[in-house]
Protein backbone atom coordinates (compact mmCIF):
# COMPACT_ATOMS: atom_id res chain seq x y z
CA UNK A 1 0.00 0.00 0.00
CA UNK A 2 1.35 3.38 -0.98
CA UNK A 3 1.69 6.03 1.65
CA UNK A 4 0.85 9.60 0.75
CA UNK A 5 3.76 11.36 -0.81
CA UNK A 6 5.48 13.19 2.04
CA UNK A 7 7.14 15.68 -0.33
CA UNK A 8 4.31 16.91 -2.49
CA UNK A 9 0.66 16.54 -3.34
CA UNK A 10 1.64 16.31 -7.01
CA UNK A 11 1.87 13.13 -9.04
CA UNK A 12 5.34 11.58 -9.05
CA UNK A 13 7.02 9.84 -11.94
CA UNK A 14 9.72 7.34 -10.96
CA UNK A 15 12.15 6.65 -13.79
CA UNK A 16 15.40 4.78 -14.42
CA UNK A 17 17.97 7.48 -13.77
CA UNK A 18 20.68 5.70 -15.78
CA UNK A 19 18.60 5.22 -18.93
CA UNK A 20 19.11 7.74 -21.75
CA UNK A 21 15.60 7.13 -23.11
CA UNK A 22 14.06 7.59 -19.66
CA UNK A 23 16.02 10.80 -19.03
CA UNK A 24 14.92 12.14 -22.40
CA UNK A 25 11.31 11.20 -21.56
CA UNK A 26 11.50 13.12 -18.26
CA UNK A 27 12.73 16.22 -20.09
CA UNK A 28 9.95 15.73 -22.67
CA UNK A 29 7.32 15.61 -19.91
CA UNK A 30 8.77 18.63 -18.07
CA UNK A 31 8.47 20.75 -21.23
CA UNK A 32 4.85 19.72 -21.79
CA UNK A 33 3.64 19.70 -18.18
CA UNK A 34 2.17 23.21 -18.34
CA UNK A 35 0.12 22.70 -15.16
CA UNK A 36 3.22 21.54 -13.25
CA UNK A 37 1.41 18.37 -12.21
CA UNK A 38 4.45 16.12 -11.96
CA UNK A 39 7.45 15.72 -9.70
CA UNK A 40 10.22 13.24 -10.55
CA UNK A 41 12.48 10.80 -8.74
CA UNK A 42 14.75 8.09 -10.01
CA UNK A 43 13.83 4.51 -9.25
CA UNK A 44 17.29 4.22 -7.68
CA UNK A 45 16.72 7.08 -5.22
CA UNK A 46 15.86 6.58 -1.57
CA UNK A 47 12.30 7.73 -2.30
CA UNK A 48 12.02 5.48 -5.37
CA UNK A 49 13.23 2.37 -3.53
CA UNK A 50 10.84 3.13 -0.65
CA UNK A 51 7.86 3.33 -3.01
CA UNK A 52 8.91 0.14 -4.82
CA UNK A 53 9.31 -1.81 -1.56
CA UNK A 54 5.99 -0.56 -0.16
CA UNK A 55 4.24 -1.81 -3.28
CA UNK A 56 6.07 -5.12 -3.73
CA UNK A 57 7.72 -3.98 -6.95
CA UNK A 58 11.23 -5.07 -7.96
CA UNK A 59 14.06 -2.89 -6.66
CA UNK A 60 16.54 -4.10 -9.28
CA UNK A 61 16.25 -4.62 -13.03
CA UNK A 62 14.15 -1.50 -13.54
CA UNK A 63 12.01 -2.15 -16.62
CA UNK A 64 9.10 0.20 -16.02
CA UNK A 65 8.39 3.74 -15.09
CA UNK A 66 6.17 4.11 -12.06
CA UNK A 67 3.49 6.79 -11.81
CA UNK A 68 2.30 7.57 -8.29
CA UNK A 69 -1.01 9.38 -8.60
CA UNK A 70 -3.76 9.89 -6.02
CA UNK A 71 -2.37 7.15 -3.82
CA UNK A 72 -2.26 4.61 -6.64
CA UNK A 73 0.59 3.05 -8.59
CA UNK A 74 0.57 2.77 -12.39
CA UNK A 75 3.32 1.03 -14.34
CA UNK A 76 4.23 0.19 -17.92
CA UNK A 77 1.87 1.37 -20.65
CA UNK A 78 -0.89 2.40 -18.26
CA UNK A 79 1.47 4.77 -16.44
CA UNK A 80 2.82 6.17 -19.71
CA UNK A 81 -0.67 6.74 -21.13
CA UNK A 82 -1.86 8.44 -17.93
CA UNK A 83 1.14 10.76 -18.14
CA UNK A 84 0.42 11.53 -21.81
CA UNK A 85 -3.17 12.38 -20.90
CA UNK A 86 -1.92 15.19 -18.65
CA UNK A 87 0.44 16.84 -21.14
CA UNK A 88 -0.20 19.92 -23.24
CA UNK A 89 -0.63 19.79 -26.98
CA UNK A 90 -1.95 16.75 -28.83
CA UNK A 91 -0.32 14.20 -26.52
CA UNK A 92 -3.54 13.40 -24.59
CA UNK A 93 -4.93 11.80 -27.75
CA UNK A 94 -2.59 8.86 -27.14
CA UNK A 95 -4.66 8.02 -24.06
CA UNK A 96 -7.18 6.50 -26.48
CA UNK A 97 -4.80 3.52 -26.68
CA UNK A 98 -5.98 2.60 -23.16
CA UNK A 99 -8.83 0.71 -24.85
CA UNK A 100 -6.33 -1.84 -26.18
CA UNK A 101 -5.87 -4.86 -23.94
CA UNK A 102 -3.03 -4.35 -21.46
CA UNK A 103 -1.16 -7.42 -22.70
CA UNK A 104 -0.84 -5.79 -26.14
CA UNK A 105 0.12 -2.35 -24.79
CA UNK A 106 2.51 -3.79 -22.24
CA UNK A 107 4.02 -6.16 -24.82
CA UNK A 108 5.11 -3.17 -26.90
CA UNK A 109 6.22 -1.28 -23.77
CA UNK A 110 8.27 -4.28 -22.56
CA UNK A 111 9.97 -4.72 -25.95
CA UNK A 112 11.23 -1.14 -25.75
CA UNK A 113 12.10 -1.44 -22.04
CA UNK A 114 14.17 -4.61 -22.58
CA UNK A 115 16.17 -2.99 -25.38
CA UNK A 116 16.40 0.61 -24.18
CA UNK A 117 20.07 0.47 -23.10
CA UNK A 118 21.07 -1.23 -26.36
CA UNK A 119 19.08 1.19 -28.53
CA UNK A 120 19.51 4.47 -26.59
CA UNK A 121 22.48 3.91 -24.28
CA UNK A 122 23.08 4.10 -20.56
CA UNK A 123 24.44 6.95 -18.42
CA UNK A 124 27.42 6.48 -16.11
CA UNK A 125 25.73 8.55 -13.39
CA UNK A 126 22.10 8.93 -12.39
CA UNK A 127 20.30 11.73 -14.25
CA UNK A 128 19.29 14.75 -12.18
CA UNK A 129 17.02 17.54 -13.33
CA UNK A 130 18.47 21.03 -13.43
CA UNK A 131 15.37 22.39 -11.70
CA UNK A 132 15.54 20.88 -8.23
CA UNK A 133 11.98 21.99 -7.51
CA UNK A 134 10.86 19.19 -9.82
CA UNK A 135 13.07 16.47 -8.42
CA UNK A 136 12.63 14.42 -5.26
CA UNK A 137 16.02 13.15 -4.19
CA UNK A 138 15.14 11.44 -0.91
Q: pTM (2 decimals)? A: 0.86
- Delimit the domains of the chain by residue range: 11-120
Q: What is the residue-level pLDDT of the chain in tens, covering all 138 positions?
A: 444 444 456 899 999 988 999 989 999 999 999 999 999 999 988 899 999 999 999 898 888 899 999 989 999 999 999 999 999 999 999 999 999 999 999 999 999 999 999 999 987 766 665 555 566 655
- Contact by Cβ (8 Å): 47, 41: yes
Mark residue 81 as left, alpha or beta (left: phi above 0; alpha: psi -120 to 50; beta: remaining): alpha
Amino acid sequence: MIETNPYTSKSVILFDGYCNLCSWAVQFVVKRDKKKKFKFASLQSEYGIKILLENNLPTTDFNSLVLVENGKIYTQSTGALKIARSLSGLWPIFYAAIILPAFIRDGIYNLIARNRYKWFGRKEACFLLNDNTLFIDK
